[in-house]
Amino acid sequence: MKNNLIKFLQYPVRASPLSLFRLGSPQTVLVDFSSPNIAKPFHLGHFRATVTGNFVRNINEAMHHRVVAINYLGDWGTQFDLLARAFHQYGSWDKLNTNPMRHLQEIYVRVNQENGTSLSAQSIPDSDRISWWARVREMTIAHLEQTYSRMNVRFTVFEYESDYVDAAKRLVDRLLVAGLAMYDSDGVVVFRTSTTTDSSLPNPRISLLKSDGSTLYLTRDIASAISRYERYHFDRIHYVVEDGQRLHFQHLCTVLQGLNCHWLNATNPVDSPADDFQPSSPSSCQIHIPFGRVQGASTRRGQGVTLSDILDGARHTILQRMAKSPNTRFSDVTDPALSNTERQAILDVADHLGVTCLVVEFLRQRRQKPVRLRSFMGNPVANTGPTDPNSGSDGGGLDTTDLSGLGLQYCHARLCSLERRAIQSGIISSDSAHSDQTDLTVLCEKIDQLDSTLWTNANQSMELKLLKFLTGFESALLAAYEDYEASVLVQFATKLTAEVNLAWKRSPVLSCDDLNIKLLRLSTFLAARNVLAVCLRLLGIRPLRRI
DSSP designation for 338: S
- CA torsion angle 293 299 301 304 (round to 10): 70
Helix (H, G, I), strand (E, B) or coil at 274: coil
At residue 144 the predicted structure's pLDDT band, cuts being 50, 70 and 90, is very high
Tell me: do 475 and 537 sit in the same domain: yes
More confident of the two residues 79 and 104: 104
* Among 401, 432, 457, residue at a domain's last position: 401
What pLDDT, in 10s, does the model give residues 206-240? 999 999 999 999 999 999 999 999 999 999 999 99
Identify the weakest region by mean pLDDT among 269-273, 395-399, 408-412, 543-547. 269-273
Residue 523: closest CA among 537, 507, 534: 507
Q: Are residues 65 and 12 in the same domain?
A: no
CA atoms of 380 and 398, how far apart (whole Å): 11
Quick one: 361 and 442 in the same domain? no
- Same domain, residue pair 312 and 284: no
* Structural domain contains residue 541: yes
Please indicate, yes or no, if residue 373 is contained in any of the structural domains: yes
Amino acid 78: pLDDT: 79
- The string of pLDDT tens digits covering residues 9-50 is 999 888 877 888 887 889 999 999 999 999 888 889 999 999
Contact by Cβ (8 Å): 500, 525: yes
pLDDT one-digit tens code per residue, 296-320: 665 555 555 789 989 999 999 999 8
Both 13 and 121 in one domain: the answer is no
Number of domains in the chain: 3
* pTM: predicted TM-score of the whole model, two decimal places: 0.89
CATH number, domain of 78, equals 3.40.50.620
Domain that holds residue 427: 1-26+411-547
Can you tell me the distance from the alpha carbon of 476 to that of 483, in angstroms, rounded to the nearest whole number? 11
Q: In this prediction, what percent of the chain has a pLDDT beyond 70?
A: 86
d(CA 169, CA 186): 18
Select from 370, 401, 432 the last residue of a domain.
Answer: 401
Domain's final residue, options 354, 375, 401: 401
Residue pair 374/396 in contact by the 8 Å Cβ criterion: yes
Measured in degrees and rounded to the nearest 5, phi and psi for residue 70 equal -115, 130
Average pLDDT estimate for 322-334: 76
Range name among 59-73, 145-159, 321-335 with the lowest pLDDT average = 321-335
Amino acid code (one letter) for 444 = C
Are 235 and 266 in contact by the 8 Å Cβ rule? The answer is: yes
Kindly state whether residue 546 falls inside one of the protein's structural domains.
yes
